[in-house]
Amino acid sequence: MNYQCTGPLAKMPCTHKLPVEYALKLGDNEIPLNALLGRRLTLNYLGSINCHECGRRSNKSFAQGYCYPCFKRLPQCDTCMVRPETCHYAAGSCRDEAWAERVCMNDHIVYLANSSSLKVGITRATQVPVRWMDQGASAALPMFRVSTRRLSGLIEVLFKEHVSDRTNWQAMLKGEPEVRDLRVEAERLKSLCRAELTELQSQYPISQITELVDAPYYDLSYPVDEYPLKVKAFNFDKAPEVTGVLKGVKGQYLIFDTGVLNVRKFTGYQVGLEIGEDV
């Protein structure tokens, strides 16, 4: 097969425009995707996986792109990254304190988003609005700005009693969610959690937890010509070839007329790309 390029898959870079602009990243190659809607693409898994961190050959990918030794060693693979309220930096057991000081001990945003439905989440302040584009959110609203990742997790836990913290990826890929007024929803949630929020704020200096009253409202749209009626996910571990007409890109998914591919899930997989003619 005559590949236009080959290399290890990585998370798709995206740019905040209307619609969001995406590129397919294969090693040092970045292929703009918006212009490829309506073209037949073929991606072939070439049989090897390389760790996103150390580059070593791996039989399996852990935590979206790492070999097992890196998965067990790196701070970004620790369970506290998924559950930040369990941060153990203060206990002296952090996997890499210097890394935590760069990443976790910096401003984070607690936000409300509308992806498959209403959800609460957290992200580093530097990841706004990339985080929402990565998850395919149609709208997002920052609610709090806090000084550490752990604090963002503690606030998220309060809101999770009333709203999900997960995106239903199948529903997200079937179309746009029901329109919700996120400012109204944010006030409702803050009202429900006001006593717990006040108690948490009393435990920290006022500068560490800032309620965002007039935060910008983000409306997002995606390059999608046609959403699937049924969502069939491709899996390189079961079938090495993915081929079809590109119908759209949303979140970290390629939407074909034959199924969808979660690009981020297969980070580190060596892949060859062939671009066909317009269909």
**pLDDT, tens digit, 9 for 90 and up, residues 164-216:** 999 999 999 999 999 999 999 999 999 999 999 999 999 999 899 999 999 99
Q: What angle do CA 189, 157, 199 make, to 5 degrees?
A: 75
Tell me phi and psi for residue 167, to 5 degrees.
Answer: -105, 130
How big, in percent rounded to 5, are the helix, strand and coil portions of the chain? 25, 35, 40
Query: Structure tokens of 114?
Result: 């509308």
* pTM exceeding the 0.85 threshold for the entire prediction: yes
pLDDT at res. 277: 79
pLDDT for 3: 80
CB 122 within 8 A of CB 109: yes
Quote the pLDDT of residue 279. 67
Low-confidence ranges of the chain (pLDDT < 70): 1, 279
Half-sphere exposure of 226 (CA within 13 A, CB side): 12
Please state, in angstroms and rounded to a whole number, the distance separating the CA atoms of residues 68 and 77: 10
Let me know: does 159 contact 193? Beta carbons within 8 Å: yes
DSSP, collapsed to helix, strand or coil, labels residue 189 as helix
Q: What is the spatial distance between Cα 99 and Cα 30, in angstroms, rounded to a whole number?
A: 28
In the numeric block, the tokens 């090693």 are attached to 27
How much of the chain, in percent, has pLDDT values that exceed 90? 97
Q: What is the pLDDT of residue 1?
A: 66
Q: Name beta bridge partners: 97.
A: none
Output the pLDDT for position 2: 75
Please list the alpha-helical segments (H only) found in the chain: 68-73, 97-103, 130-134, 149-159, 169-172, 182-192, 194-202
SS3 at position 224 = strand
Q: What is the pLDDT of residue 143?
A: 98
Sign of torsion, CA 33 8 101 152?
Answer: positive
